[in-house]
């Protein structure tokens, strides 16, 4: 029977064109995820995905549109298919996990059209999701102007989604929990639950392309919408050869599986830096929160925050509290024009800030300085000074810089288009030349580029702590949404750890002034104190800030957590959680473990097995818990510190107040 079938196929092939369909299906290594590529009846390129043999992504279109008669989507035919697979472990100098398994099956579908444009569609299917990218070669083209991306994600069954709206200018928006079918547009990572499956759509390795957002074009049919240039073109390509970022879908049976997935980093290129020993995770404090609360100013005046004297006070505090670095904002000329001409000068300190002396003092105390470059969005002004500014800092021994883009871009550019993606990459490369690490505020969203350039350490790219200083603030559930959405893309400089939750000190300060139109004067932090501590663990950042003014930490027993904390994490695992509800994450750094658990507006208790602890060892667990009557609204600062002796065989019952949390350090006891 088998023999007869083989003979008849061979016979058809010998007779002329072989009509046997080429294999264009691929499974994940564990066979749970199956992806098929095909040309549909209209000869469009399309794919669909099943998970556990259930439709997950229904037939969805692929391709691009371009100007000037260039065809990137229609009437392509398959010329060949290559299959490959990989199973390797690679390591990185820092990260939630220093070693990562990269295990996938790959299918490269080769296509061409009547004009001899070549396209390879490269699909990779992992046990935790899929990624695909387009690799085009258009013959005889000097340049290409991409006008639209057709890539669609036709989610087979409606479900719940968690996302921020699409905006080409900001990610600092509140999350929405809504049916997938109700999404109008969304930024990525866009997380959803359909049937029993959790998933998140995003992109990886965005290096020279506009960002992708999602637009709902019918029921649960989400289509890519790229951030445009001012003239409406989406992407400009020099020559005719280009490859896109990866379009990704992380897939997991449990919500925490998305957090534990290494898919985004696996789809980025390996490190290109020759050495990385100059890159190190650090904890930091800074002259920062006072400005947001309005008790200090960025501009030089009698309320100026960044004075030499104040900087030294912060350096002393860092040195006395096992904190590696300090950051000062408002140190340089130009703040008086923030929101106006935005012509910051990156090598000219204000008259009351002696950077040479501050740098000398920091060196003497063994403390690193994190510099600050606010651009206000004036990219040309920053690019003109880039080399000089990084060289100048490096000469002063400053090898870490926080950047910011709070303001509109010139010439009609938006923040997330290709123009700015190129700019950010230029800054990362320039910083690397001077062995400098970066913490970018108002960034392009993370797409895992830190694997290739590990000096790109952390970024903002969501509503961070600052919003609590001068707006209605971030609601309690914001912190249980971030780990399942924004943080899937990479680390965030949220700047947690405000201990003066109700701003008692700032409210009584004679210097307090409204500085921002959203500042309502009865702002506050919408969590308990214990949750602030837990967020140092939950919201991963290799540069982790204790964001409050140091007066609010001095003498506070709960600050011991940050003293013990180690930002140089080796291993992490999200143990339990649901988007918008609660999350429990543990991280290991050297021989210590740190656990953070947080909850939304609901109080809850969750039992956590300590089987992540090393067998045969006994640990002192120091527990920073909500007080018995703590409540984020009515009693946010009530907390207690408990100690226990535990081993890997124990289970802890983690009790969290409304809008509360719990943080635990596990330190091995000497035998
Ligand atoms: C916005 C940033 O997110 C914040 O951290 C910074 O203080 C201000 N811009 C000023 O640079
Ligand atoms: Ca910001």
Q: Which residue ranges form the domains of the chain, and what is each CATH number?
A: 25-253 (2.70.98.10), 276-460 (3.20.20.70), 462-541+564-670 (3.20.20.70)
Q: Which two tokens stand for residue 169?
A: 């200018």
Residue with tokens 């920073």: 624
**Ligand 1 atom nearest 464 alpha carbon:** 3
**Could you tell me which residue, 16 or 551, shows the higher pLDDT?**
551
Strands 64-66, 143-149: pairing is antiparallel
**Ligand 1 atom nearest 442 alpha carbon:** 3
Shortest-distance ligand to the CA of residue 516:
1
- Reported as a pLDDT band with limits 50, 70 and 90, residue 615 is very high
- Identify which of 296, 406, 408, 496 to mutate to test ligand 1's pocket (most ligand atoms within 8 A of the CB): 406
**Ligand 1 atom nearest 292 alpha carbon:** 7
Q: Is the confidence at residue 247, as pLDDT, over 70?
A: yes
How far does the centroid of ligand 2 lie from the alpha carbon of residue 172, in Å? 7
Q: Where are the alpha helices (DSSP H) in 188-293?
A: 255-259, 263-266, 289-293
Which residues share a beta bridge with 82? 108
What are the pLDDT digits (tens) for 545-578?
999 999 999 999 999 999 999 999 999 999 999 9
Dmax over Cα atoms in the chain, in whole Å?
93
- Identify which of 328, 374, 407 to mutate to test ligand 1's pocket (most ligand atoms within 8 A of the CB): 374
State the average pLDDT over residues 78-95.
97
State the average pLDDT over residues 3-11.
36
How far does the centroid of ligand 2 lie from the alpha carbon of residue 408, in Å? 13
**Ligand 1 atom nearest 460 alpha carbon:** 3
State the average pLDDT over residues 20-47.
91
State the average pLDDT over residues 424-448.
98
**Ligand 1 atom nearest 291 alpha carbon:** 7
How far does the centroid of ligand 2 lie from the alpha carbon of residue 464, in Å? 7
- Reported as a pLDDT band with limits 50, 70 and 90, residue 514 is confident
Shortest-distance ligand to the CA of residue 169:
2
Shortest-distance ligand to the CA of residue 339:
1
Nearest CA to ligand 1 atom 2: 441
Q: Give the pLDDT score at 522.
A: 80
Nearest CA to ligand 1 atom 7: 288
What are the pLDDT digits (tens) for 111-150?
999 999 999 999 999 999 999 999 999 999 999 999 999 9
**Ligand 1 atom nearest 288 alpha carbon:** 7
Shortest-distance ligand to the CA of residue 296:
1
Q: Give the pLDDT score at 304.
A: 98
Separation of alpha carbons 514 and 297, rounded Å: 11
Separation of alpha carbons 515 and 518, rounded Å: 9
Q: Is the confidence at residue 14, as pLDDT, over 70?
A: no
Q: Give the pLDDT score at 22.
A: 62
Burial class (CB in 10 A: 0-12, 13-18, 19+), 112: middle
3-state secondary structure 565-607: CCCCCCEEEEEEEECCCEEEEEEEECCEEEEEEEECCCCEEEE
* Exposure string over 255-281, b if 16+ CB within 10 A, otherwise e: bbbbbbbbbbbbbbeebeeeebeebbb
State the average pLDDT over residues 417-430.
98
Q: Which two tokens stand for residue 162?
A: 């968690």
Nearest CA to ligand 1 atom 1: 406
- The dihedral sign for the CA sequence 552, 556, 558, 563: positive
State the average pLDDT over residues 654-665.
98
Burial class (CB in 10 A: 0-12, 13-18, 19+), 139: exposed
Q: Give the pLDDT score at 518.
A: 83
Distances (CA, A) of 432 to 379, 454, 541: 19, 9, 19
Q: Which two tokens stand for residue 585?
A: 């994450």
69 touches 105 (CB < 8 A): no
How far does the centroid of ligand 1 lie from the alpha carbon of residue 457, in Å? 17
pLDDT over 70, % of the chain: 96
Q: Which two tokens stand for residue 338?
A: 């923030």
Q: Is the confidence at residue 10, as pLDDT, over 80?
A: no
Shortest-distance ligand to the CA of residue 171:
2
586 touches 572 (CB < 8 A): yes
- The dihedral sign for the CA sequence 274, 278, 281, 284: negative
Shortest-distance ligand to the CA of residue 173:
2
Smallest Cα–Cα separation from 542: which of 485, 459, 458? Answer: 458
State the average pLDDT over residues 194-203.
98
Q: Give the pLDDT score at 143.
A: 98
**Could you tell me which residue, 176 or 514, shows the higher pLDDT?**
176
State the average pLDDT over residues 298-311.
97
How far does the centroid of ligand 1 lie from the alpha carbon of residue 329, in Å? 8
Smallest Cα–Cα separation from 400: which of 271, 279, 276, 574? Answer: 279
pLDDT over 90, % of the chain: 94
Nearest CA to ligand 1 atom 11: 374
Q: Give the pLDDT score at 15.
A: 38
The helix, strand and coil proportions of the chain, stated in percent and rounded to the nearest 5, come to 20, 35, 45
**Could you tell me which residue, 516 or 230, shows the higher pLDDT?**
230
Ligand 1 neighbours (beta carbon < 6 A): 288, 329, 374, 404, 406, 441, 460, 466
Nearest CA to ligand 1 atom 3: 441
**How would DSSP label each residue in 419-467?**
HHHHHHHHHHHHHHHTT-EEEESS-PPP-SGGGT-TTEEEE--S--THH
What are the pLDDT digits (tens) for 371-394?
999 999 999 999 999 999 999 999
How many CB atoms lie under 10 A from the CB of residue 471? 16
- Identify which of 404, 407, 496 to mutate to test ligand 1's pocket (most ligand atoms within 8 A of the CB): 404
How far does the centroid of ligand 2 lie from the alpha carbon of residue 393, in Å? 23
- Identify which of 329, 342, 498 to mutate to test ligand 1's pocket (most ligand atoms within 8 A of the CB): 329
Q: Is the confidence at residue 598, as pLDDT, over 60?
A: yes
Q: Give the pLDDT score at 613.
A: 98
- Identify which of 297, 376, 441, 467 to mutate to test ligand 1's pocket (most ligand atoms within 8 A of the CB): 441
Nearest CA to ligand 1 atom 6: 404
Separation of alpha carbons 306 and 510, rounded Å: 18
How far does the centroid of ligand 1 lie from the alpha carbon of residue 226, in Å? 26
Q: Give the pLDDT score at 519.
A: 77
**Ligand 1 atom nearest 374 alpha carbon:** 11
**Ligand 1 atom nearest 372 alpha carbon:** 11
Task: Tell me if residue 466 is catalytic.
Answer: yes
State the average pLDDT over residues 189-209.
98
Select which of 135, 466, 602, 633 is catalytic: 466
Lowest average pLDDT, out of 8-22, 118-132, 438-452, 513-527, goes to 8-22
Q: Give the pLDDT score at 521.
A: 72
Nearest CA to ligand 1 atom 9: 406
Q: Give the pLDDT score at 18.
A: 43
How far does the centroid of ligand 1 lie from the alpha carbon of residue 13, in Å? 66
How far does the centroid of ligand 2 lie from the alpha carbon of residue 160, in Å? 28
How far does the centroid of ligand 2 lie from the alpha carbon of residue 257, in Å? 29
């Amino acid at each position: 029977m088998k023999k007869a079938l083989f003979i008849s196929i061979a016979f058809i092939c010998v007779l002329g064109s072989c009509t046997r369909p080429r294999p264009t299906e691929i499974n994940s290594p564990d066979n749970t995820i199956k992806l098929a590529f095909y040309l549909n009846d209209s000869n469009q390129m399309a794919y669909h995905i099943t998970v556990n043999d259930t439709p997950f992504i229904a037939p969805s279109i692929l391709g691009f549109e371009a100007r000037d008669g260039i065809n990137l989507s229609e009437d392509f035919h398959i010329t060949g298919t290559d299959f490959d697979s990989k199973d390797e472990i690679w390591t990185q100098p820092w990260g939630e996990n220093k070693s990562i398994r990269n295990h996938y099956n790959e299918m490269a579908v080769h296509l061409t059209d009547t004009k001899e444009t070549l396209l390879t569609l490269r699909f990779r299917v992992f046990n935790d999701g899929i990624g695909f990218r387009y690799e085009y070669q258009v013959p005889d083209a000097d340049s290409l102007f991409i006008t639209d991306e057709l890539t669609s994600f036709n989610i087979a069954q409606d479900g719940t989604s968690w996302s921020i709206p699409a905006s080409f200018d900001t990610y600092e928006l509140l999350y929405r929990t809504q049916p997938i079918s109700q999404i109008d547009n969304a930024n990525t990572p866009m997380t959803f639950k359909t049937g029993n499956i959790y998933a998140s759509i995003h992109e990886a390795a965005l290096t020279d392309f506009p960002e992708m957002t999602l637009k709902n074009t019918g029921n649960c049919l989400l289509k890519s919408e790229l951030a445009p240039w001012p003239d409406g073109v989406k992407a400009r390509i020099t020559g005719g050869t280009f490859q896109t970022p990866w379009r990704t879908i992380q897939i997991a049976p449990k919500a925490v599986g998305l957090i534990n997935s290494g898919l985004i980093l696996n789809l980025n290129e390996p490190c290109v830096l020759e050495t990385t020993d100059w890159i190190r995770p650090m904890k930091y404090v800074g002259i920062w929160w006072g400005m947001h609360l309005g008790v200090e100013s960025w501009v030089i005046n009698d309320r100026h925050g960044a004075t030499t004297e104040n900087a030294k006070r912060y350096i002393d505090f860092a040195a006395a509290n096992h904190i590696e670095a300090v950051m000062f904002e408002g140190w340089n000329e130009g703040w008086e024009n923030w929101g106006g001409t935005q012509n910051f000068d990156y090598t000219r300190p204000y008259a009351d800030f002696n950077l040479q002396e501050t740098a000398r003092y920091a060196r003497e105390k063994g403390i690193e300085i994190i510099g600050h470059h606010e651009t206000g969005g004036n990219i040309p002004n920053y690019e003109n000074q880039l080399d000089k500014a990084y060289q100048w800092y490096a000469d002063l021994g400053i090898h870490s810089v926080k950047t910011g883009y709070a303001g509109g871009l010139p010439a009609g550019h938006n923040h997330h288009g290709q123009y700015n993606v190129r700019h950010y990459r230029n800054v990362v490369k320039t910083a690397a030349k001077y062995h400098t690490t970066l913490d970018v505020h108002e960034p392009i969203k993370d797409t895992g580029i830190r694997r290739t350039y590990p000096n790109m350490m952390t970024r903002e790219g969501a509503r961070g702590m600052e919003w609590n200083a001068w707006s209605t603030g971030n609601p309690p559930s914001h912190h249980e949404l971030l780990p399942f959405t924004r943080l899937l893309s990479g680390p965030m400089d949220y700047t947690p750890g405000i201990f003066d939750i109700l701003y008692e000190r700032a409210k009584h300060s004679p210097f307090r002034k409204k500085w921002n139109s959203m500042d309502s004067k009865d702002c506050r932090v919408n969590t308990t104190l214990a949750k602030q501590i837990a967020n140092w663990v939950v919201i991963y950042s290799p540069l982790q800030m204790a964001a409050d003014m140091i007066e609010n930490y001095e003498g506070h027993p709960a600050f011991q957590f940050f003293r013990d904390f180690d930002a140089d994490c080796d291993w992490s695992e999200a143990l339990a959680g649901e988007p918008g509800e609660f999350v429990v994450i543990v991280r290991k750094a050297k021989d210590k473990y740190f656990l953070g658990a947080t909850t939304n507006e609901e109080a809850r208790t969750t039992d956590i097995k300590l089987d992540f602890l090393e067998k045969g060892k006994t640990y002192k667990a120091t527990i920073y818990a909500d007080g018995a009557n703590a409540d984020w609204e009515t009693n946010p600062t009530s907390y207690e510190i408990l100690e226990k002796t535990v081993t890997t065989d124990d289970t802890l019952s983690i009790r969290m107040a409304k809008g509360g949390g719990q943080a635990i350090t596990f330190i091995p006891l000497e035998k």
